[in-house]
Structure 1
Amino acid sequence: MYEQLPVPFGLVRYGVAPDHPEVKNCEEKFTEVATSPRFNFIGNVAVGSQLPFSTLKPHYDAILFAYGAAKDRELGIPGEDARKNVLSARAFVGWYNGLPEYRDLAPDLAAGEHAVVVGQGNVALDVARILLSDVDSLRKTDISEHALEELSRSKIKRVRVVGRRGPMQAAFTIKEIRELLQLPSVAFDTIPKDLLPPEDVVSSLPRAQKRLIQLLAKGSATDPTTASKSWSLDFLLSPHSLHWSPMFPYRLSHVKFTRNEFVSPDPFASDAKVKQHFLTSGYKSLPLPGFEELGIEFDGRRGIIPNDGFGRVTSTNRAAEDTTTPLDHTHISHLPGLYCAGWVKRGPTGVIASTMMDAFGTADSIAADWEAFKSSSEAKISFLNSTSGGSTGLGWEGVRAEAMQRGLLPTSWDDWQRIDSVEKDRGKAKGKPRQKFGHVEEMLNIVR
């Protein structure tokens, strides 16, 4: 397993909200897998940019791409990436979870009392919950220390969670809604009845969706007159433009929305005065450097590696300039030895459980292909050009020399366990599960 960071666990470590420790229990299963003598962790190595695929190919029978989504899906409105107080949810979540890429993001949460979160999935609710939570309740989690410091200075008292569709189409789940509704001293704005489905429709809904709609209709038990903070779910609104303070050009003044209806929309139907704006339009995968040499035709529009749905990377067998010939099964083939799983396979949707099931499916494909390859000399399935013995087919042992020549400093599973132990000791001193290192150099200093 090659990993760009010195440590494993990816989105479990850097994407799961710090107040959801139970979700991170899957790390125990991953650690169990890592104890197998057939498993090798090589951290702090970026395949493609630091280590070319030409180095890997001779030493492996197959390469599995499971590197997730490293980019924000843009909304396409002017100014969304130009100013300090317009933050993507990916950046904000990475910041409070200690992702080195966003260690120095430094959002100014003391700029004002109002924040808008665009998007109504679980990530959007995570952002809203962290902004509205009592900071003392977060001190016992593994949230980063720099985030705690900034959240303790936060002046945000009002959060609007805005979505372009209605309650029936919202992507959030009941657990995340319930947690927000139960935040102490935080009130929830009542949803207008005309936005909720009538009782006869609600009664016919699937159980999970019915419970969610009923919970939204019930609302919060917190009295708005006594609450110190509040939040709302605003439906049928799409962000149209961002506007900046004339006196402070780098400070957000307000966001203008378009109201969505089943008739022609009325532009500028809603205005929100805010100082913080969080974009949660989603994640998007990017191609790795060197995909061309492998024959991978990355789908930039969908942000995925083309595949057969079972994890086998596919390629179109037609000339690049031929855009008129319709594609059918005769034009699509499996690239030998190349597989994908997770978000880079099917897009950034689903929770950890669904992503694991997806990974199991790809693993089944690899195992089935290998059995077919080994059982018949006439099998149509093939793998990468690796052999057993000699100077090829050696796995990491065959790659290590070039990695060292390139000045790379790979970390091992033993190195991770040392980093893990130190982080837990640092956290214990502060009454929290762990205190993560925020910079890669800090991690490497532990194992050098």
Structure 2
Amino acid sequence: MALFGKLRWISRRFTTLAATPLRICVVGSGPAGFYTAEKILKAHKEVEVDIVDRLPTPFGLVRSGVAPDHPETKIVINQFSRVAQNDRCSFLGNVSVGSSVSLPELHEMYNAVVLAYGAESDRTLGIPGEELGGIHAAREFVWWYNGHPDCRNLAPDLTSTDTAVILGQGNVALDVARILLRPTMELAKTDIASHALAALEESSIRKVYLIGRRGPVQAACTAKELREVLGIKDISIQVKQADLVTTPADEVVMKNNRIRRRVYDLILKAASSGHSPPLPDQRELHLVFFRKPDRFLESKDRSGHVAGVLLEETTLQGDDLGKQIAVGNGVFEEISCGLVLKSIGFKSVAIDGLPFDHDKGIVPNVGGRVLADSSTDFPQYETGLYVCGWLKRGPTGIIGTNLYCAEETVASLSEDIERGVLTSNSAKPGRGGLLQLLDRRNIRVLQFHDWERIDTEEKRGGNLKNKPREKLATWEELLQVASK
């Protein structure tokens, strides 16, 4: 009898364990987070996924990073919305990991935590004058015109100068240049934030300099983005002929890389067809190559404000043709300007309890598994802790790149599930436990139905102005509408 009772207890125990779903928390609701959640839900029919984000709104980079005149790129929001509406998935906004809840606490409440919160800081140049007024990170400027609540009050000065300098020639730099130079009547039909549109309508900016350390063959942008900015109506494209001269090494690069060839050909064509000099009142885009910033110059009339950039000419060095570095040659020139936007790269931010490589700006990992100690020859992993997106690989790639990144991370997670690494002797509280904890701390959690109220209100406001949506751009507005 005793043996039979023991076997029955064991049977019930295994049945209970089998019926208890694994609970996984994804931190970050941008493309990396949503692709990760989608892959987990498809691969494991009993798993529950909660997507946590510090913002009241989901979709991360798609909402706050994609340019307003690129609506086709934002269509992926429909796919992400279907993920959030899955019965086994929840969106929990206005929850900041590190202040609302700690990473160790999440680890206790979930079988696994996947960190996918992107890059919310910026690299610095470390040169004199970088602290001057009028110098902003391109990320901040992008967040400003996209209605991100953290940058609603950025207020870049667009009226005291006719010249803006953008450091960098990647796609973000080209986005920023396009927003500064494109006719506002075209931008008015997009979901650009109203405060940004109003400022751009009063803008005095007529000249934009895109500065690159290397040459046109090495420009970091894609042909599509370059074609858009070169195609702005009634714009004069200015390029120094000396910068267009190619070397044998350049020809090898372009022979082996069709994208580099296409970018160079676009620049060459624009330079040969542009007006020289520009027509009166014509807006100008100056593509400047082989220059690096040496220091920012302070205005004599406006103390503490930028008045220009001192640039040093560069030459390319290195045997790896695809990764030649730009080295200064001691020849300098100055560009006067009242606005500088640094588009030199994003940087992820560490949180307490998370291994972090500050030099690379990533979490040490192998295939998405977080390394507890990256100094040994034999990898030691943080059980149940994973990473995806820019936090995993660095701030590179397009939105679709996160799909393949998520596939790799979820493959590692699935392997750990199959091996029994993520099972526990007791059920994890997951969403219920997290909500109870946040309630005790008086943290107001916004769920997906709250976002849908915001979404409806933004679309209603946009309809009144013949635009896709009128973004709510302050924390107060977002929280107020969510509670209606």
TM-score (norm 2): 0.83
Once the two structures are TM-superposed, the CA of residue 29 in structure 1 deviates from its matched residue by 1.1
From 422, 426, 450, the counterpart of 1:387:
426
From 53, 58, 62, the counterpart of 1:8:
58
Asked if 2 retains the 8 angstrom alpha-carbon contact of 1:257 and 1:267, the reply is no
| 1:110 aligned onto 2:159 | yes
TM-aligned CA distance change 1:23 to 1:430, over 3 Å: same
Asked if 2 retains the 8 angstrom alpha-carbon contact of 1:58 and 1:386, the reply is no
From 325, 333, 358, the counterpart of 1:300:
358
CA–CA distance in structure 1, aligned partners of residues 408 and 128 of structure 2:
40
- What does 1:161-172 align with in structure 2 at a 5 Å threshold? 161-172=210-221
| Number of residue pairs matched by the alignment | 419
Q: Which residue number in structure 2 is paired with residue 315 of structure 1?
A: 372
From 377, 382, 393, the counterpart of 1:329:
377
Q: Which residue number in structure 2 is paired with residue 420 of structure 1?
A: 455
Give per-residue Cα distances to partners, 1:16-47, cap 9 Å, x unaligned.
Answer: 00001111111111112112111011100101
Unmatched tracts of structure 1, length 5 or more: 318-326, 374-381
| 1:58 aligned onto 2:108 | yes
Identity %: 38
Q: Which residue number in structure 1 is paired with residue 283 of structure 2?
A: 229
- What does 1:16-165 align with in structure 2 at a 5 Å threshold? 16-80=66-130, 82-165=131-214
Mean Cα displacement is larger for which, 4-13 or 361-370? Answer: 361-370
Once the two structures are TM-superposed, the CA of residue 180 in structure 1 deviates from its matched residue by 1.1
Q: Which residue number in structure 2 is paired with residue 379 of structure 1?
A: none
From 261, 266, 290, the counterpart of 1:215:
266
Q: SS at 1:210's partner residue?
A: helix
CA–CA distance in structure 1, aligned partners of residues 291 and 234 of structure 2:
27
CA–CA distance in structure 1, aligned partners of residues 301 and 239 of structure 2:
35
From 163, 168, 176, the counterpart of 2:225:
176
Give per-residue Cα distances to partners, 1:59-91, cap 9 Å, x unaligned.
Answer: 2100000000111111111222x2331111011
CA–CA distance in structure 2, aligned partners of residues 59 and 159 of structure 1:
51
Once the two structures are TM-superposed, the CA of residue 383 in structure 1 deviates from its matched residue by 3.0
Unmatched tracts of structure 2, length 5 or more: 1-50, 318-326
- What does 1:394-405 align with in structure 2 at a 5 Å threshold? 394-405=429-440
Give per-residue Cα distances to partners, 1:304-331, cap 9 Å, x unaligned.
Answer: 11101x10000218xxxxxxxxx4432x
CA–CA distance in structure 2, aligned partners of residues 6 and 410 of structure 1:
8
- Equivalent residue letter for 2:437: E
TM-aligned CA distance change 1:188 to 1:383, over 3 Å: same
Once the two structures are TM-superposed, the CA of residue 222 in structure 1 deviates from its matched residue by 5.1
TM-aligned CA distance change 1:409 to 1:136, over 3 Å: same
From 297, 303, 308, the counterpart of 1:254:
308
Q: Which residue number in structure 2 is paired with residue 241 of structure 1?
A: 295
Give per-residue Cα distances to partners, 1:198-256, cap 9 Å, x unaligned.
Answer: 69658724332222211111116554543611112111111111111112113321110
Asked if 2 retains the 8 angstrom alpha-carbon contact of 1:58 and 1:385, the reply is no
CA–CA distance in structure 1, aligned partners of residues 247 and 108 of structure 2:
62
CA–CA distance in structure 1, aligned partners of residues 267 and 444 of structure 2:
51
Once the two structures are TM-superposed, the CA of residue 58 in structure 1 deviates from its matched residue by 2.8
| 1:267 aligned onto 2:315 | no
Q: SS at 2:286's partner residue?
A: strand
Q: SS at 1:92's partner residue?
A: helix
Asked if 2 retains the 8 angstrom alpha-carbon contact of 1:167 and 1:196, the reply is no
CA–CA distance in structure 1, aligned partners of residues 138 and 392 of structure 2:
22
CA–CA distance in structure 2, aligned partners of residues 203 and 53 of structure 1:
46
TM-aligned CA distance change 1:228 to 1:384, over 3 Å: farther
Q: Which residue number in structure 2 is paired with residue 347 of structure 1?
A: 394
TM-aligned CA distance change 1:265 to 1:55, over 3 Å: closer
- Equivalent residue letter for 1:94: W
Q: Which residue number in structure 1 is paired with residue 322 of structure 2?
A: none
RMSD over aligned Cα, in angstroms? 1.9
Once the two structures are TM-superposed, the CA of residue 268 in structure 1 deviates from its matched residue by 5.2
TM-aligned CA distance change 1:123 to 1:194, over 3 Å: closer
TM-score (norm 1): 0.89
From 393, 418, 431, the counterpart of 1:371:
418
Asked if 2 retains the 8 angstrom alpha-carbon contact of 1:167 and 1:235, the reply is yes
TM-aligned CA distance change 1:203 to 1:86, over 3 Å: closer
